[in-house]
Chain A
């Protein structure tokens, strides 16, 4: 059962990702991105990381992608002014390199040995919360500063008059 679900959601995630990078209009990309994010959230659930899956859906799909869509609609680039993609040497090389990278990673991934044991509950609210507020408290606090900086930065950048 798990295997089937994994293959299903994995395939959805990969297909969605491929669609994200291949769509001409960013709006289409954004929608496919939501699909991928949902699929990944499902995979999280598969690994018993319910909390992360929830966050994935709420923050990613709910906030980030919505932000993307906002921006896409805000600047509203006309269809004919969208960049024309051409296959330059660097692009082709880049795709090849990425393919190679996947290949390498795949080989490497197969060589990793991990104990296949019972699923530990690491992605639950309790586990994440415990870890966050004990061992990783400092990192957590710094993250908050990062977010603050991002907020201020975003406002400062996007404001009309600085």
Chain B
């Protein structure tokens, strides 16, 4: 027992899996018959057709609605205990493991636990093995920690949901997949988690499957992710046939060797990393595959918070950071990553300005923030990316949960134009959300400030960065501040624009929802303090913690880059910091001006530039473009292939061959017309020919 608690690392993913099994059993054996009976539908085995109430509102979505009050069945309490319980336990185990890991010397902080050999075929040997190192420990803690809070929140949020147990099955399954993703010690196992989270995302987005838009969104998410996965798959093939292994440690250890021997050319590294990045764009909703994320808001709000803000969508960033050793070998890829990140950041921020659905604003904000993280990766600042990933997990989860609380209070209303003045109804929600908004806007002292500024600074100073990237990112930061405050002002301040009926029921959420909010608010404030940069007198603990993962590669791949950063004067760093804060404040000020002082102004602006407003409001028509350019095309081609090629051409040949035989038979049968004279004639003709032949032969001879 040299490893102590670390030997129980397997419990971290195993506990949520246990939750899946237990909740699954409950969902299948208890909840299913219960719901069927409730809906008046026949049970298995066929007890005759039921004639239940099938009014549509009843089944479609009952979250937060004034749905008929059923007695809370006992099984729900059990589920409400198991589901967050297992995740909480996983968090505790993960925390203990990380503490145990932290007690080791810095260069020994990689722990691998091999569970069983998974796939073995010839030289391919992929074990099911977990790896805990600084990077995965950050991820594991964020995932289990935030995940636990969101599970607790869900208990309250989903309390009116009929398929309560099913929801938690999916949620626990997601935790399991996500933990496999971050704890895997090789690409293939990571890919299992990678697709697993995509699957859970699909299931949870389409949780209210009776809503067409929900199931559409789920499918869209899965397919967009699949396109990315295609890249990861190919990248894995290249990695395996180049390095002969898929295990992280083995792959990265071979990098210098293969680099020297010329096997791993820059071109090859570029291809591998670009393919990996394609996967990342799918999972982390970057241009061009970002379109699924806003639609994913069809899912329950805690799901949006957990999957589409805090954890799953950051998997792309994690993967890029994990593969940093490869990325640093491919400057072209780095540039692509940085540019895509920056463009996505500003592009989706502009879309966020005009959205009126509270969750969609947050969704575009998420896309934008993820762009930041990729910008950080692209300029080689992987630590900053992970740092921002973590702080973003806190405040974006908080924002989503807060919006969920608002939606909950308003019986499912998501349109900000029908909110306003909610401050007095939901004080806790307001306070916590305000903190998060400050954090995301980059107000000094809060977590978002430190992480975002780190990225901005790296974008400016790193060898991969440029002032241009900094400019885009800073501008995006300003826009972020603007639309986030727009959201806050529209929602909580001003006069109420609520439906009176809804207003009557407006209420603060139960403690299971508000306590997670408060905890996350604390984290949003304090979460950044572990990474205060040196220039502000901090010790940047976070960077030191991750140094064993990133520094060897930084040293090997881009040593000069790290040094170049050092040469910039501290004054410049502080100056830029101040500038970015100023930009953010401008954004806030503008929001205050437009949505508090001159509330009629936004509509005027929209009228002044109708085309621009229209384009931005419709998200630059990207969805429509994809629909037109890709989906329509493929469907048309497919129908063409089926009807023209398959049915007409191939079957035409096949049936044509059959028809040919039949037609030939039809002709040939005339020879046997059944008329005796005909037979006599053919006999004669044969005789003539035969004698002719004999004659011919005799003449020839």
Q: How many residues of A contact B (CB 8 A)?
A: 13
Per-residue interface assignment for chain A, residues 77 to 100, with 1 indicating a CB less than 8 Å from any chain B CB and 0 otherwise: 000000000000011011001101
Q: Tell me if B570 counts as interface (CB < 8 A to partner A).
A: no
The answer to whether A90 and B678 touch across the interface, beta carbons within 8 angstroms, is yes
Please give the distance in Å from A96's CB to the nearest CB on chain B: 10
- Known interface pairs A108-B698, A111-B698; A97-B691 also in contact (CB < 8 Å): no
Most chain B CB within 10 A, of A94, A98, A104, A111, is at A104
- Known interface pairs A107-B695, A108-B694, A108-B695; A101-B687 also in contact (CB < 8 Å): yes
A105–B684 Cα distance when bound, in Å, is 13
A153–B684 Cα distance when bound, in Å, is 28
Q: Tell me if B45 counts as interface (CB < 8 A to partner A).
A: no
The answer to whether A108 and B681 touch across the interface, beta carbons within 8 angstroms, is no
Set of chain A residues within 8 Å of B600, measured between Cβ atoms: none
Q: Tell me if B564 counts as interface (CB < 8 A to partner A).
A: no
- Known interface pairs A107-B695, A108-B694, A111-B698; A97-B678 also in contact (CB < 8 Å): no
Name B18-53 residues within 8 Å CB distance of A. Answer: none
A91, A94, A105: the one contacting B691 at CB < 8 Å is: A105
User: How many B residues touch the partner, as a band?
Assistant: 10 to 19
A111–B700 Cα distance when bound, in Å, is 13
Per-residue interface assignment for chain B, residues 663 to 701, with 1 indicating a CB less than 8 Å from any chain A CB and 0 otherwise: 000000000000001101100110110011011001000
**Which residue of chain A lies nearest to B687 when distances are taken between CB atoms in the complex?**
A101
Please give the distance in Å from B419's CB to the nearest CB on chain A: 97
Per-residue interface assignment for chain A, residues 13 to 49, with 1 indicating a CB less than 8 Å from any chain B CB and 0 otherwise: 0000000000000000000000000000000000000
Set of chain A residues within 8 Å of B680, measured between Cβ atoms: 94
The answer to whether A97 and B695 touch across the interface, beta carbons within 8 angstroms, is no
Name B541-579 residues within 8 Å CB distance of A. Answer: none
Name B432-455 residues within 8 Å CB distance of A. Answer: none
Please give the distance in Å from B508's CB to the nearest CB on chain A: 105
The answer to whether A93 and B681 touch across the interface, beta carbons within 8 angstroms, is yes
The answer to whether A101 and B684 touch across the interface, beta carbons within 8 angstroms, is yes
The answer to whether A98 and B684 touch across the interface, beta carbons within 8 angstroms, is yes
A94, A105, A111: the one contacting B681 at CB < 8 Å is: A94
The answer to whether A97 and B684 touch across the interface, beta carbons within 8 angstroms, is yes
The answer to whether B681 and A100 touch across the interface, beta carbons within 8 angstroms, is no
A90, A91, A104, A107: the one contacting B688 at CB < 8 Å is: A104
Set of chain A residues within 8 Å of B692, measured between Cβ atoms: 104
Please give the distance in Å from B701's CB to the nearest CB on chain A: 10
Set of chain B residues within 8 Å of A105, measured between Cβ atoms: 691
The answer to whether A104 and B677 touch across the interface, beta carbons within 8 angstroms, is no
The answer to whether A101 and B691 touch across the interface, beta carbons within 8 angstroms, is yes
- Known interface pairs A94-B684, A97-B684; A108-B677 also in contact (CB < 8 Å): no
Set of chain A residues within 8 Å of B691, measured between Cβ atoms: 101, 104-105, 108
**Which residue of chain B lies nearest to A99 when distances are taken between CB atoms in the complex?**
B688
A100–B695 Cα distance when bound, in Å, is 12
Please give the distance in Å from B685's CB to the nearest CB on chain A: 6
Set of chain B residues within 8 Å of A108, measured between Cβ atoms: 691, 694-695, 698
A98–B688 Cα distance when bound, in Å, is 8
A94–B698 Cα distance when bound, in Å, is 25
Please give the distance in Å from A110's CB to the nearest CB on chain B: 11
A28–B681 Cα distance when bound, in Å, is 25
Set of chain B residues within 8 Å of A104, measured between Cβ atoms: 688, 691-692, 695
**Which residue of chain B lies nearest to A94 when distances are taken between CB atoms in the complex?**
B681
**Which residue of chain B lies nearest to A96 when distances are taken between CB atoms in the complex?**
B688
- Known interface pairs A104-B691, A108-B691; A97-B698 also in contact (CB < 8 Å): no
The answer to whether A97 and B685 touch across the interface, beta carbons within 8 angstroms, is yes
Per-residue interface assignment for chain B, residues 396 to 414, with 1 indicating a CB less than 8 Å from any chain A CB and 0 otherwise: 0000000000000000000
Set of chain B residues within 8 Å of A111, measured between Cβ atoms: 698
Q: Which 3 residue pairs of A and B lie closest in terms of their CB atoms, listed nearest first?
A: A104-B691, A101-B688, A94-B681
Q: Can you list 25 contacts pairing A with B, beta carbon distance less than 8 Å? A: A90-B678, A91-B677, A94-B677, A94-B680, A94-B681, A94-B684, A97-B681, A97-B684, A97-B685, A97-B688, A98-B684, A100-B688, A101-B684, A101-B687, A101-B688, A101-B691, A104-B688, A104-B691, A104-B692, A105-B691, A107-B695, A108-B691, A108-B694, A108-B695, A111-B698
